[in-house]
Protein backbone atom coordinates (compact mmCIF):
# COMPACT_ATOMS: atom_id res chain seq x y z
CA UNK A 1 0.00 0.00 0.00
CA UNK A 2 1.28 3.51 0.67
CA UNK A 3 4.71 2.58 1.90
CA UNK A 4 6.21 4.55 4.74
CA UNK A 5 9.54 4.98 2.94
CA UNK A 6 7.73 7.15 0.42
CA UNK A 7 6.85 9.71 3.08
CA UNK A 8 10.44 9.82 4.33
CA UNK A 9 11.58 10.89 0.85
CA UNK A 10 9.26 13.88 0.70
CA UNK A 11 10.38 17.45 0.91
CA UNK A 12 9.11 19.34 3.98
CA UNK A 13 7.36 21.79 1.63
CA UNK A 14 4.85 19.11 0.56
CA UNK A 15 2.18 19.82 3.12
CA UNK A 16 -1.34 18.85 4.01
CA UNK A 17 -3.92 21.61 4.27
CA UNK A 18 -4.45 21.23 8.02
CA UNK A 19 -1.59 19.30 9.57
CA UNK A 20 1.63 20.55 8.02
CA UNK A 21 4.31 18.60 6.16
CA UNK A 22 3.24 15.16 4.95
CA UNK A 23 6.73 13.99 5.86
CA UNK A 24 5.57 14.21 9.51
CA UNK A 25 2.82 11.62 8.99
CA UNK A 26 3.74 9.72 12.19
CA UNK A 27 3.31 12.85 14.32
CA UNK A 28 0.11 13.71 12.44
CA UNK A 29 -1.28 10.25 13.24
CA UNK A 30 -0.81 10.96 16.96
CA UNK A 31 -2.91 14.14 16.94
CA UNK A 32 -6.15 13.79 18.93
CA UNK A 33 -8.22 14.91 15.95
CA UNK A 34 -6.68 12.26 13.70
CA UNK A 35 -7.11 9.62 16.40
CA UNK A 36 -10.81 10.52 16.54
CA UNK A 37 -11.09 10.43 12.74
CA UNK A 38 -9.41 7.02 12.74
CA UNK A 39 -11.67 5.69 15.51
CA UNK A 40 -14.83 6.90 13.76
CA UNK A 41 -13.77 5.40 10.44
CA UNK A 42 -13.07 2.08 12.16
CA UNK A 43 -16.51 2.20 13.83
CA UNK A 44 -18.22 3.09 10.54
CA UNK A 45 -16.57 0.18 8.75
CA UNK A 46 -17.61 -2.07 11.64
CA UNK A 47 -21.26 -1.21 10.99
CA UNK A 48 -21.81 1.58 13.51
CA UNK A 49 -23.49 4.78 12.33
CA UNK A 50 -21.29 7.89 12.44
CA UNK A 51 -22.10 11.57 12.02
CA UNK A 52 -19.20 13.03 10.02
CA UNK A 53 -20.31 16.68 10.32
CA UNK A 54 -17.35 17.73 12.48
CA UNK A 55 -14.91 16.68 9.74
CA UNK A 56 -16.74 17.53 6.51
CA UNK A 57 -15.70 20.82 4.95
CA UNK A 58 -12.77 21.39 7.30
CA UNK A 59 -9.68 23.02 5.87
CA UNK A 60 -8.74 25.13 2.88
CA UNK A 61 -9.47 24.58 -0.76
CA UNK A 62 -12.13 23.81 -3.32
CA UNK A 63 -12.09 20.34 -1.83
CA UNK A 64 -11.36 20.94 1.86
CA UNK A 65 -8.52 18.99 3.43
CA UNK A 66 -10.63 16.75 5.66
CA UNK A 67 -12.82 15.83 2.69
CA UNK A 68 -9.76 14.84 0.66
CA UNK A 69 -8.55 12.73 3.57
CA UNK A 70 -11.91 10.96 3.75
CA UNK A 71 -11.76 10.28 0.01
CA UNK A 72 -8.32 8.71 0.54
CA UNK A 73 -9.64 6.63 3.44
CA UNK A 74 -12.64 5.48 1.40
CA UNK A 75 -10.27 4.58 -1.43
CA UNK A 76 -8.23 2.41 0.96
CA UNK A 77 -11.45 0.61 1.91
CA UNK A 78 -12.36 -0.03 -1.73
CA UNK A 79 -8.87 -1.29 -2.53
CA UNK A 80 -9.10 -3.79 0.31
CA UNK A 81 -12.78 -4.77 -0.05
CA UNK A 82 -14.24 -3.58 -3.36
CA UNK A 83 -17.25 -5.84 -2.93
CA UNK A 84 -18.23 -4.35 0.45
CA UNK A 85 -20.53 -1.41 -0.27
CA UNK A 86 -20.48 1.63 1.96
CA UNK A 87 -23.03 3.77 0.16
CA UNK A 88 -24.64 4.36 3.57
CA UNK A 89 -21.45 6.03 4.86
CA UNK A 90 -22.96 9.51 5.28
CA UNK A 91 -26.51 8.46 6.27
CA UNK A 92 -26.13 9.85 9.82
CA UNK A 93 -24.50 13.07 8.61
CA UNK A 94 -26.45 16.23 7.72
CA UNK A 95 -26.66 16.82 3.96
CA UNK A 96 -23.16 17.22 2.57
CA UNK A 97 -24.37 20.22 0.58
CA UNK A 98 -24.77 22.11 3.87
CA UNK A 99 -21.27 21.21 5.08
CA UNK A 100 -18.86 21.51 2.15
CA UNK A 101 -18.37 22.72 -1.40
CA UNK A 102 -20.39 21.22 -4.25
CA UNK A 103 -17.22 19.78 -5.81
CA UNK A 104 -16.22 18.08 -2.59
CA UNK A 105 -19.77 16.89 -1.99
CA UNK A 106 -19.70 15.07 -5.30
CA UNK A 107 -16.24 13.56 -4.69
CA UNK A 108 -17.39 12.22 -1.32
CA UNK A 109 -20.67 10.86 -2.67
CA UNK A 110 -18.91 9.17 -5.57
CA UNK A 111 -16.26 7.74 -3.22
CA UNK A 112 -18.93 5.95 -1.18
CA UNK A 113 -19.99 4.24 -4.40
CA UNK A 114 -16.45 3.23 -5.30
CA UNK A 115 -15.98 5.88 -7.99
CA UNK A 116 -12.67 7.73 -7.84
CA UNK A 117 -10.48 9.99 -9.97
CA UNK A 118 -8.41 8.54 -12.78
CA UNK A 119 -5.23 9.28 -10.80
CA UNK A 120 -6.45 7.22 -7.85
CA UNK A 121 -7.71 4.39 -10.05
CA UNK A 122 -4.30 4.18 -11.77
CA UNK A 123 -2.54 4.28 -8.41
CA UNK A 124 -4.87 1.59 -7.07
CA UNK A 125 -4.09 -0.75 -9.96
CA UNK A 126 -0.37 -0.35 -9.34
CA UNK A 127 -0.80 -0.86 -5.59
CA UNK A 128 -2.71 -4.10 -6.19
CA UNK A 129 -0.03 -5.32 -8.60
CA UNK A 130 2.72 -4.17 -6.22
CA UNK A 131 4.14 -2.01 -9.02
CA UNK A 132 3.89 1.33 -7.28
CA UNK A 133 6.74 3.70 -7.92
CA UNK A 134 7.70 7.11 -6.62
CA UNK A 135 6.50 8.79 -9.83
CA UNK A 136 2.95 7.53 -9.26
CA UNK A 137 2.86 9.07 -5.81
CA UNK A 138 4.21 12.35 -7.14
CA UNK A 139 1.37 12.46 -9.68
CA UNK A 140 -1.13 12.30 -6.82
CA UNK A 141 0.75 15.05 -4.99
CA UNK A 142 0.40 17.30 -8.04
CA UNK A 143 -3.39 17.42 -7.57
CA UNK A 144 -4.52 20.81 -6.24
CA UNK A 145 -2.64 22.85 -3.68
CA UNK A 146 -3.02 20.40 -0.77
CA UNK A 147 -5.49 17.86 -2.16
CA UNK A 148 -2.92 15.30 -3.25
CA UNK A 149 -1.12 15.34 0.11
CA UNK A 150 -4.41 15.20 2.02
CA UNK A 151 -5.64 12.30 -0.12
CA UNK A 152 -2.39 10.35 0.35
CA UNK A 153 -2.54 10.95 4.11
CA UNK A 154 -6.11 9.64 4.09
CA UNK A 155 -5.06 6.64 2.01
CA UNK A 156 -2.31 5.82 4.50
CA UNK A 157 -4.68 6.23 7.48
CA UNK A 158 -7.32 4.12 5.75
CA UNK A 159 -4.76 1.44 5.00
CA UNK A 160 -3.72 1.34 8.67
CA UNK A 161 -7.36 0.92 9.70
CA UNK A 162 -7.94 -1.89 7.19
CA UNK A 163 -4.83 -3.64 8.54
CA UNK A 164 -6.18 -3.28 12.09
CA UNK A 165 -9.54 -4.72 11.01
CA UNK A 166 -7.78 -7.81 9.69
CA UNK A 167 -6.04 -8.30 13.05
CA UNK A 168 -9.25 -7.81 15.06
Locate the domains of the chain by residue range: 4-162
d(CA 82, CA 16): 27
State the pLDDT confidence band at 3, using cuts at 50, 70 and 90. low
Q: Is-contact 140 152, C-beta < 8 A?
A: yes
Question: Which of 10-24, 68-82, 92-106 has the lowest average pLDDT?
Answer: 10-24
Q: How confident is the prediction for the chain on average, in pLDDT? A: 87
Residue 4 predicted with pLDDT over 60: no
Looking at residue 1, its pLDDT comes to 46
Looking at residue 22, its pLDDT comes to 81
Q: What value does the mean pLDDT take over residues 63-81?
A: 96
**Orientation angle between helical segments 147-167 and 32-45, nearest 10 degrees:** 60
Q: What is the pTM of this model?
A: 0.88
Residue 119 predicted with pLDDT over 70: yes
Question: Which of 3-7, 46-50, 76-80 has the lowest average pLDDT?
Answer: 3-7
How many CB atoms sit inside 10 A of residue 9's CB? 12
Q: Is-contact 56 67, C-beta < 8 A?
A: yes
Amino acid sequence: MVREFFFSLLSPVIATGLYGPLKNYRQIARLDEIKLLTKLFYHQLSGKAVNWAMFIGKGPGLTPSSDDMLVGMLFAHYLAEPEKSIEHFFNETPPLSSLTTIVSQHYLEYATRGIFSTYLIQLGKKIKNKEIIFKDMLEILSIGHHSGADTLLGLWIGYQIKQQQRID
